[in-house]
Amino acid sequence: MSTEFRRTQSLRVPKDQQRSASLVRTKTERKISRSMLKPEEDPALCSFAKLSAHQKSVLRASWKAINNRTLGATIKRILTRLELTCPTVKEIFSKATFLGVFNRDTPAPSDSKGGGSTLNDHVKQLVKFFDELIGSLDDPVKAVADVRRVGMEHGTLKASCGFKADAWERFGEIAMEVICALDGVQKSREAPKAWRILIACATDELRSGFEEGARAVSRKSSLNTEPYLAGASAVSNINHCLRHLQLEHTNSAPYNV
């Protein structure tokens, strides 16, 4: 989606002006966070906004058709296929299930927003995720913010479990294949296309949020480590000075017969 947006923008500005503009652009400007962009400047918001009124209507109708008792099994099929292609995902789900066996009697915190981390927990969370996404079709700003937040909440998995951003791409591909093949989606010629656009936008923002969350975790970890390293360095310097003073004292001490 973002590539298409940039291509559209490039058609509006002559190439010589594009080159001169890129030369004067500062390094700081190139690193501006997408979260700071205005709605009309954010490729993600533009992509969501490109959904026509008819496509939004088709998405709502098809979601209503597939949001039934079998939806849980459909979502589980997506996650199961993701496990097969991403060993890290399978490891995370297996570890969560294993730990859950020992914590059955421990209630989840009342302020917990993320819920559990097992595959079955994620099935419920994904149903809610898509339901809220469909409900926010007329509010792209909220939709993008909510999806990015979900991605950011998974940022800790990069350092703790080795979870990679590429897994989001694979998730999006599988979700497209499975959802677009459902009878409730196939009934309309426009529905599969609309779902592909929606899932592609969501996948991009999940990955973007994840990478932002991972960077935040990394920065926090480095800040927490620096005082310790500084303290350890100071202690090492003090010990070195003390040893040096001790050697000087030994060398300067009078020789006793």
Domain holding 90: CATH number?
A: 1.10.490.10
On whether residue 241 sits in a domain, the answer given is yes
Whole-number pLDDT of residue 42:
60
3 is a domain residue: no
Domain count for the chain: 1
Token digits of residue 69: 């008792």
Domain assignment present for residue 20? The answer is no
CB neighbour burial string for 45-57, b if at least 16 within 10 angstroms, e if fewer: bbbbeebeeebbe
* pLDDT value of position 148: 94
Is position 254 within any domain? Answer: no
Which residues are CB-contacts of 116 (< 8 A; sequence separation ≥ 6)? 96, 100, 108
Quick check: is 33 in a domain?
no
> Looking at the domain assignment, is residue 123 inside a domain?
yes
pLDDT for 229 equals 45
Q: Which of 157, 172, 163, 181 is nearest to 202 (CA)?
A: 172
Report yes or no on 148 lying in a domain.
yes
Please list, in sequence order, all residues whose beta carbon lies within 8 angstroms of the beta carbon of residue 96, skipping any fewer than 6 positions away.
116, 117, 118, 121
* Cα separation, 95 vs 32, whole angstroms: 37
Task: Please indicate, yes or no, if residue 77 is contained in any of the structural domains.
Answer: yes
Nearest residue to 135 (alpha-carbon basis) of 220, 198, 93, 183: 198
Under-50 pLDDT residues of the chain: 2-40, 102, 104-114, 226-232, 234-235, 238-242, 244-250, 252-257
Range of the domain at 223: 43-100+114-248
Classify residue 157 as exposed, middle or buried by CB count within 10 Å of its CB (0-12, 13-18, 19+). buried
pLDDT at 189: 93
| Per-residue confidence (pLDDT) for residue 139, from 0 to 100 | 92
Predicted local confidence at residue 101, as pLDDT: 52
